[in-house]
Amino acid sequence: MTNPLGVSPMTPWWRDAVVYQIYPRSFADSNGDGVGDLAGVTAKLDYLADLGVDALWLSPIFTSPMRDFGYDVADYCGIDPVFGTDADFDDLITGVHRRGMRLLLDWVPNHSSSDHPWFVESRSSRDNPKRDWYVWRDRRSDGSPPTNWMSLFKGVPAWTHDDATDQSYLHVFLAEQPDLNWANPDVEAALNDSLRYWLDRGVDGFRADVVNLIGKGTDVDDLPDHLVTMPLLATDRPFGHELLRRIRTLLDSYEHQPMMVGEVYLLQAGQSASYLGDIDGGAPELHLSFDFRPLHTPWEADRMQGALVEMEADFAEPGWPTFVLSNHDRVRHRTRYGTEARARAAAVLALTIRGTPFLYAGEELGLEDGVVPPERVVDPDGRDGCRAPIPWTADGDDETGHGWPERPWLPFPSNATTHAAEVQVGDPASMHSLYRALLALRHQHAVLRHGSIEFAPLDDGDGADDDDADGDVIRFERRLADERVVVIVNLSDAAAPWPTDLADAAVLLSTARDRRASGAALAPDEAVILNL
Ligand code: GLC
């Protein structure tokens, strides 16, 4: 199947795109089993096209026993029945493409489910041909685990002993998520075949889960003490880059320019960007690599500007940054930052800095995390709050309604009634309208997508060396040919003076509901986009 969308040889589509992450279990339920599904997503495609996003990324939809809600895959080429059928998938991708959008799938290469037939074989005997597809080791002579690695979930060792064959297997996450051994070429071939399978079915790319971990191969010796509980941060190995260069060759052999964005959970300067490969003149690896530093930065101007400037330096051309504030693993930024005004200003940041923005479903509604009572906690790592179902309609309570035919698998966000989609669509003062306006501006103004970026030194934003500087205003300028756009974000809960050199600039957009023109002081947490 070929992709019906035009591709420009000049600018890869993903540099122009805004990607919208859908956590399918929580998006929309078409069959009333309380869990969102593919037909549910298809039913909301007009909503998404109208919002103005360019690509959808679906968190895992493959066959899974759901110990980690799909990040434990039992068949890399099968759709889990809870999400629907192959036909539902074909309807979805056709509907996405018909609306000019693209579809990305979540690909989980580091580990499979322990229910995957590969692991069932692997654990069956020491001489099974698939034994070496996973990472097996003998216990130490004192009976303790083979090495000191700790799992990222539940604070247990990353090794589980299997009595049947008297060896232990590695799992950086749950014991039900055994790590694959990418040093075995058959593993590489099988996983890369799964990419081909979905590319042949028309998908436009992948988000690769914890992708830096695959480079560990069988190099799983003791870690230094400070990394024992964080093996994810300890696996930046040359072998991973080699694997990604081969994956890139595979992706680039398809004409429709499939894109891979990697979840690279490495937070030191330069680390995430190094997974683009070509940034230092090497061969290309990932097209995009998440940089989670801004997500881990509090809403304070000096810290946020610091993170943005570091990211910009790391991902300078030919690199290309991403921007993400929320996803299915972290408390939503609306909840983290505490106020709607801040979330509105953050939306301006997300959609105006250089790079490809990734939005998490529901942030366009300003949704808060759900409050999940202990008896309803289901995630092994306590991430249920940010996975609360999307409220489509206002009618309902914490548990039922809101456009879901039956009580969903998790309680709704705490502001579901006031912030349901139906309440916000069409209300010019809503968060939804702000996102829609921002996405339209990006489409209209190439400078917001391709322009260079330059940050002003942190002061009150007027760039002048005067003493009204209070240091809470981030200001940057995007330039493309003779188009110039300035973005100002007041990260303080006090008003800030309007920059004197911008007294007459035209206001393209403001997050303050009563701004009419330039000149008057910036409201607390106001963000403005100006055209020079
Ligand atoms: C990634 C996913 C997370 C999952 C983990 C293990 O961090 O985003 O949800 O639990 O990998 O696959």
Separation of CA 104 and ligand 1 centre (Å): 16
Mutate to test the pocket of ligand 1, among 69, 71, 154, 230 (most ligand atoms within 8 A of CB): 71
Q: Tell me which residue of 348, 306, 309 sits closest to 325, measured CA to CA.
A: 348
Q: In this structure, what DSSP letter does residue 136 have?
A: E
Is residue 4 a part of any domain in this protein?
no
Same structural domain, 358 and 263 = yes
Ligand 1: centre distance to CA 72 (Å) = 9
Could you tell me if 357 and 269 lie in one domain?
Answer: yes
d(CA 173, CA 68): 9
Decide if 199 is inside a domain: yes
pTM: 0.96
Which CB contacts under 8 angstroms, 24+ apart, belong to 464-469?
464/500, 464/501, 468/497
Supply the pLDDT for residue 529: 98
Which residues contact residue 134 at a Cβ distance below 8 angstroms, ignoring those fewer than 6 apart?
118, 119, 122, 123, 169, 170, 178, 179, 180, 181
d(CA 73, CA 462): 52
Q: Clarify whether residues 242 and 336 are in a common domain.
A: yes
The CATH number of residue 88's host domain is: 3.20.20.80
Asked whether residue 7 is assigned to any structural domain, the reply reads no
Say whether both 165 and 277 belong to one domain. Answer: no
Active site includes 209? yes
The domain in which residue 377 lies consists of 13-112+185-442
Q: How far apart are alpha carbons 459 and 475 in whole angstroms? A: 9
Q: Where are the alpha helices (DSSP H) in 234-386?
A: 238-252, 301-314, 333-337, 340-352
| Domain end among 442, 477, 493 | 442
Does 108 sit in the ligand 1 pocket, CB within 6 Å?
Answer: yes
Same domain, 105 and 159: no
Mutation pick for ligand 1 pocket among 68, 232, 383 (CB with most ligand atoms within 8 Å):
68
- Catalytic residue among 106, 204, 263, 364, which? 263
Q: Is 263 a catalytic residue?
A: yes
Selection from 411, 375, 377, 383 nearest residue 396 by Cα: 411
Q: Clarify whether residues 201 and 321 are in a common domain.
A: yes
Q: Specify the pLDDT at position 2.
A: 35
pLDDT of residue 154: 82
> Is 434 in the same domain as 456?
no
Q: What's the gap in Å between 37 CA and the centre of ligand 1?
A: 20
Q: What ligand 1 atom has the least distance to the C-alpha of 153? A: 10
Please tell me whether residues 206 and 339 are part of one structural domain.
yes
Same domain, 354 and 429: yes
Q: Which of 422, 442, 462 is the last residue of a domain?
A: 442
Q: Is the Cβ atom of 210 under 6 angstroms away from ligand 1?
A: yes
Q: Is 153 in the pocket of ligand 1 (CB under 6 A)?
A: no
What residues form DSSP beta bridges with 485?
478, 531
CA atoms within 13 A on the CB side of 339: 11
With a 6 Å cutoff on the Cβ, whether 68 touches ligand 1 is yes
Same domain, 266 and 338: yes
Between the CA of 263 and the centroid of ligand 1 the distance, in Å, is 9
What are the φ/ψ torsions at residue 146 (nearest 5 degrees)? Answer: -55, -40
| Distance between CA atoms of residues 427 and 434, nearest Å | 10
Instruction: Answer yes or no: do 472 and 346 share one domain.
Output: no
Q: Residue 512 has what pLDDT? A: 94
Give all strands (DSSP E) within 201-343, no chain letters.
205-208, 259-262, 288-289, 322-324
512 Cβ below 6 A of ligand 1:
no
| Contact assessment for residue 89 and residue 202, using Cβ atoms and an 8 Å cutoff | no
Per-residue tens of pLDDT for the chain, all 532 residues: 334 454 444 789 999 999 999 999 999 999 999 999 999 999 999 999 999 999 999 999 999 999 999 999 999 999 999 999 999 999 999 999 999 999 999 999 999 999 999 999 999 999 999 999 999 999 999 999 999 999 999 889 999 999 999 999 999 999 999 999 999 999 999 999 999 999 999 999 999 999 999 999 888 999 999 888 888 888 888 999 999 999 999 999 999 999 999 999 999 999 999 999 987 778 999 999 999 999 999 999 999 999 999 999 999 988 999 999 999 999 999 999 999 999 999 999 999 999 999 999 999 999 999 999 999 999 999 999 999 999 999 999 999 999 999 999 999 999 999 999 999 999 999 999 999 999 999 999 999 999 999 999 986 445 555 444 468 999 999 999 999 999 999 999 999 999 999 998 999 999 998 888 888 999 999 999 999 9
What is the predicted pLDDT for the residue at 232?
85
493: number of Cβ within 10 Å: 14
pLDDT attached to residue 217: 87
| Of the residues 420, 442, 464, the one at which a domain ends | 442
Minimal-distance CA residue to ligand 1 atom 2: 209
- Domain check: are 307 and 390 in the same one? yes
Residue with CA at minimum distance from ligand 1 atom 12: 71
Number of structural domains in the chain: 3
CA–centroid distance, residue 396 to ligand 1 (Å): 31
